[in-house]
Each structure stands twice: as structure tokens, then as C-alpha cells.
Amino acid sequence: MISALRGQVLALRNGTCTVDVQGVGYAVHLTDGHFRSLSVGSSITLITSLVVREDSLTLYGFEGTEGLEIFEAFLGVSGVGPRSALAILSQLSPAEVLSAVVSEDDAPFRKVPGIGPKTAKHIVLQLSGKLNALVAESHVKTSLPSSLKASPDAVVTALVGLGWNEKAATDAVSAVRAPDVESAELLRLALAYLAGAR
């Protein structure tokens, strides 16, 4: 299993980056935004997912664990393959994906080319049960305190880590904050609030 690569960008073509790792070139498929941010000759570190098919081994690369975790969760949704999963992450940030799932809003997924209404509904239904695991397995877990009582500052930090700006994150936490709410629940409520504010 190839789970990470660090090397030099050897070539960029059609959404695929060739990474030179000590003389071996690995072709890695990237999201559109990540691909556009790269230049030939620059150093790169990627967290990767190796998708094995009968006739191919294909690498998909991400800047951080959030993108990887959500990509792999998408692969468990019927009707979503790796290319569709990458297309979704090219259009929506991890924060936007989590917000859409929390608020049970399939509209953002329907805007992605190749994702129809039925598949969009499947994504929301099948990912809703996995949302807590997605958050817990990402770096957000390390931002949240283990105590039962929520720490608003930690939840704001987690939201910023997912891609929201600090003011929006602070406003959301202030709007949904309640006494004796666990951090994970406060994060879920804040994500739902942010989804509604879009």
C-alpha cells in the first residue's frame, strides 16, 4: 500500500502530477485546485489512496488527511467511484462536504458534473452515519478536548482547520453554543449552522 509520497514534481498533465521519488515517477491524480497550485520542479508531499482495480493501480493524492478520509468515505457510497469522488472534492472543500451532510442537503453534490439527484441523495444518506468517524479520524480530533464539556475555542480551531474563516467559525459557535454540550456535538451544530448560512 502506498499511503504517502514525498518528492519533486516532474510533470503536470490533465489533472495528474508525476512525482519523482528517488528516481521513480508516480502518477497521482489530484483535485483541480491542488493541481493548479503546483509547478514543475517544486517539492511536494502527498497523502495518497491507492485504488486497485483488475486492470489498474491508480494513486489519488491529497494535501491533508481530511481530503483523504472524505475521498475514501465517498468510495463506500453506491454510484460513486474514485473519479467522481475526486470531482466532488474539486468542487467542495472538506468543510463544505461535512456541512452538506450534517444539514442533509444534497444540493451541493448535485452541482458536481456527473453526480445526479439519486447519487447525491445516496451520498447524504450513506455519509450521515459516518460523519462522526470522519471528524474523529481527521486532525479535528486532536483539536477537540477529551472532556465532556465543550471548549468553544477548540471547536473554532477545528472549523478553521476544516477551511472556514475564523470570523465565520466564531459566529457559528456563538450562535449554537449551549451549556453541557460535548465538543463533538457543538462541532456538529456549528457545521449545520454554517451550512444554513451559505
Q: For the segment 52-91, what is each residue's pLDDT rounded down to a tens digit?
A: 988 889 999 999 888 898 899 999 888 899 999 999 999 9
Whether residues 43 and 74 share a domain: the answer is no
Residue 117 shares a structural domain with residue 146: no
Determine, yes or no, domain membership for 49: yes
Degrees, nearest 5: CA angle 9-12-14: 150
C-alpha–C-alpha distance, residues 34 and 32, integer Å:
6
Residue 144 falls within a domain, yes or no?
Answer: yes
pLDDT digits (tens, 9 = 90+) for 146-162: 444 456 787 888 787 77
Higher pLDDT, 1 or 195: 1
Query: For 6-46, what is each residue's pLDDT tens digit?
Result: 999 999 999 999 999 999 999 999 999 999 999 999 999 99
| Band of residue 165 on the pLDDT scale cut at 50, 70, 90 | confident
pLDDT at 143: 47
Residue that is last in its domain, among 15, 40, 62:
62
Q: Give the domain CATH number at 78.
A: 1.10.150.20
pLDDT band per the 50, 70, 90 thresholds, residue 139: very low
Residue 77 lies in a domain: yes
Average pLDDT of every residue of the chain: 84
Q: Are 104 and 84 in contact (CB under 8 A)?
A: no
Radius of gyration over alpha carbons of the chain, in Å? 18
Position 179 pLDDT exceeds 90: no
Structural domain containing residue 94:
65-133
The CATH number that applies at residue 186 is 1.10.8.10
Task: Please tell me the total count of domains within the chain.
Answer: 3
Q: Which long-range contacts link 47-50 to residues 24+ away (Cβ below 8 Å)?
A: 47/3, 47/4, 48/2, 48/3, 48/4, 48/5, 49/82, 50/1, 50/2, 50/3
**pLDDT tens track for 111-131:** 999 899 999 998 988 887 665
